[in-house]
Amino acid sequence: MSTTQVKISVPGNHLMGPLLGHRDELLRLVEAAFPDTAIHVRGNEIAIEGDAAEQVGRLFEELVLLLQQGHPLEPAVLGRTIEMVRADERPSEVLTTEVLRSGRGRSVRPKSSGQKRYVDAIKQNVITFGIGPAGTGKSWLAVAMAVQALQAKEVERIILTRPAVEAGERLGFLPGDLMAKVDPYLRPLYDALYDMVEPEGAQRLLERGTVEVAPLAFMRGRAQPVDRRVLTPWGWRRIGELQVGDLVVGSNGEPTPVLGVFPQGRREVFRVATQDGASTLACAEHLWFVRTLDDAKHGKAGRVLQTQEMVGDLRRHHQRRYELPLVSEPVQFAPRPVPLDPYALGLLLGDGCITTKTTPSFSTTDPELVEARSFSSAGTTLVRETQLAGTTSATKFVPLEYLLNSPDVRVAVLQGLLDTDGGPVVQAKRSCRIQYTTCSAQLRDDVVFLVRSLGGIAYSHHRNDSHILDIRLPEGIQPFRLMRKAAKYRLYGGGRPMRFIDSIEPAGEAETVCIQVAAVDSLYVTDDFLVTHNTLNASFIILDEAQNTTPEQMKMFLTRIGFGSRAVVTGDTTQVDVPGGRSGLSGLERILSGIDGLAFVHLSSRDVVRHRIVQDIVDAYERVGGEPPSSSR
Digit-coded pLDDT (tens) for 527-556 = 999 998 766 667 899 999 899 888 888 887
- Classify domain 107-216+537-623 at the CATH class level: alpha beta
For residue 499, the number of C-alpha atoms closer than 13 Å in the C-beta half-sphere is 29
Residue 413 has pLDDT above 90, yes or no: yes
Predicted pLDDT at 172:
43
- Its pTM surpasses 0.75: no
Q: Which residues pair with 408 in a beta bridge?
A: none
Give phi and psi for 225, each to the nearest 5. Answer: -60, 150
What is the Cα–Cα distance from 446 to 212, expressed in whole angstroms? 41
Predicted pLDDT at 219:
54
Q: Average pLDDT for residues 252-269, to the nearest whole number?
A: 89
What is the Cα–Cα distance from 189 to 185, expressed in whole angstroms? 9
Amino acid (1-letter code) at residue 487:
A
SS3 for 570? strand
CA-wise closest residue to 479 among 573, 346, 385, 581: 346
- Kind and range of the H or E run holding 459: strand 457-463
Predicted pLDDT at 367:
63
Predicted pLDDT at 185:
61
Q: Is the CB of residue 618 less than 8 Å from the CB of residue 135?
A: yes
Of residues 46 and 168, more confidently modeled: 46
Q: Average pLDDT for residues 24-42, to the nearest whole number?
A: 90
- Mean pLDDT rounded to a whole number for the chain: 83
Please state, as a whole number, how many other Cβ atoms lie within 10 Å of the Cβ of residue 520.
Answer: 14
Confidence of residue 359 (pLDDT cuts 50, 70, 90): low
116-166 pLDDT, tens per residue?
999 999 999 999 999 998 888 899 999 999 999 998 888 888 888 888 654
What is the Cα–Cα distance from 288 to 302, expressed in whole angstroms? 10
Identify the weakest region by mean pLDDT among 358-372, 451-465, 579-593: 358-372
What is the Cα–Cα distance from 439 to 396, expressed in whole angstroms? 9
Residue 173 has pLDDT above 50, yes or no: no
Predicted pLDDT at 400:
94
- Which CATH superfamily, name and number, covers 342-492? Homing endonucleases (3.10.28.10)
Q: Average pLDDT for residues 199-204, to the nearest whole number?
A: 80
Let me know the angle formed at the C-alpha of 253 by 251 and 259, rounded to the nearest 5 degrees.
Answer: 65
- Reduced 3-state DSSP string for 133-201: CCCCCHHHHHHHHHHHHHHCCCCCEEEEEECCHHHCCCCCCCCCCHHHHHHHHHHHHHHHHHHHCCHHH
Q: Is the CB of residue 190 less than 8 Å from the CB of residue 102?
A: no
Q: What percent of the chain has pLDDT over 70?
A: 84
Please state, as a whole number, how many other Cβ atoms lie within 10 Å of the Cβ of residue 615.
Answer: 22
Identify the weakest region by mean pLDDT among 36-40, 60-64, 426-430: 426-430
- Kind and range of the H or E run holding 553: helix 551-558
Fill in the DSSP letter of residue 181: H
What is the Cα–Cα distance from 525 to 224, expressed in whole angstroms? 12
Residue 369 has pLDDT above 80, yes or no: no
Give DSSP secondary structure letters for 243-275: -TT-EEE-TTSSEEEEEEEEEEEEEEEEEEEET
Of residues 506 and 207, more confidently modeled: 506
Confidence of residue 396 (pLDDT cuts 50, 70, 90): very high
Residue 15 has pLDDT above 80, yes or no: yes
What is the Cα–Cα distance from 105 to 440, expressed in whole angstroms? 69
What is the Cα–Cα distance from 446 to 469, expressed in whole angstroms? 11
What is the Cα–Cα distance from 391 to 14, expressed in whole angstroms? 99
Of residues 105 and 56, more confidently modeled: 56
Please state, as a whole number, how many other Cβ atoms lie within 10 Å of the Cβ of residue 622.
Answer: 13
SS3 for 444? helix
Confidence of residue 178 (pLDDT cuts 50, 70, 90): very low
Strand 127-131 relative to strand 157-162, pairing: unpaired
Q: Which residues pair with 283 in a beta bridge?
A: 269
Residue 9 has pLDDT above 80, yes or no: yes
Selected from 2.170.16.10, 3.40.50.1860, 3.40.50.300, 3.20.20.140, the CATH number assigned to the domain covering 223-326+501-533 reads 2.170.16.10
Q: Which residues of 213-231 are buried (b: 16+ CB within 10 A; e: fewer)?
A: bbbbbbbbbbbbbbebbbb
Residue 389 has pLDDT above 80, yes or no: no
CATH 3.40.50.300 segments of the chain: 107-216+537-623
Strand 499-517 relative to strand 224-225, pairing: antiparallel
CATH 3.10.28.10 segments of the chain: 342-492
What is the Cα–Cα distance from 61 to 143, expressed in whole angstroms? 32
Q: Which residues pair with 513 in a beta bridge?
A: 224, 263
Strongest mean pLDDT among 214-223, 227-236, 389-398, 419-428: 227-236
311-336 pLDDT, tens per residue?
988 988 889 999 999 999 999 999 99
Give phi and psi for 470, each to the nearest 5. Answer: -100, 125
Identify the weakest region by mean pLDDT among 23-32, 173-182, 342-351, 588-597: 173-182
Let me know the angle formed at the C-alpha of 281 by 275 and 287, rounded to the nearest 5 degrees.
Answer: 85
What are the angstrom distances between the C-alpha of 352 and each of 128, 130, 288, 347, 476?
A: 65, 70, 43, 7, 28
Strongest mean pLDDT among 215-219, 304-308, 395-399: 395-399
Predicted pLDDT at 112:
84
What is the Cα–Cα distance from 556 to 254, expressed in whole angstroms? 25
Alpha helices (H) in 50-177, listed in sequence order = 53-68, 75-86, 91-94, 113-124, 138-151
Cβ neighbours of residue 373 closer than 8 Å, sequence gap 6 or more: none
Identify the weakest region by mean pLDDT among 430-434, 498-502, 590-594: 430-434
Predicted pLDDT at 302:
79
Q: Average pLDDT for residues 237-260, to the nearest whole number?
A: 93
- Kind and range of the H or E run holding 31: helix 25-33
What is the Cα–Cα distance from 562 to 572, expressed in whole angstroms? 26
What is the Cα–Cα distance from 390 to 355, expressed in whole angstroms? 4
Predicted pLDDT at 294:
80
Determine the straight-line distance between the first and last CA of the chain, rounded to whole angstroms. Answer: 54
Domain 5-95: assigned CATH number: 3.30.1370.10
What is the Cα–Cα distance from 530 to 282, expressed in whole angstroms? 12
Identify the weakest region by mean pLDDT among 66-80, 352-366, 475-489, 610-624: 352-366
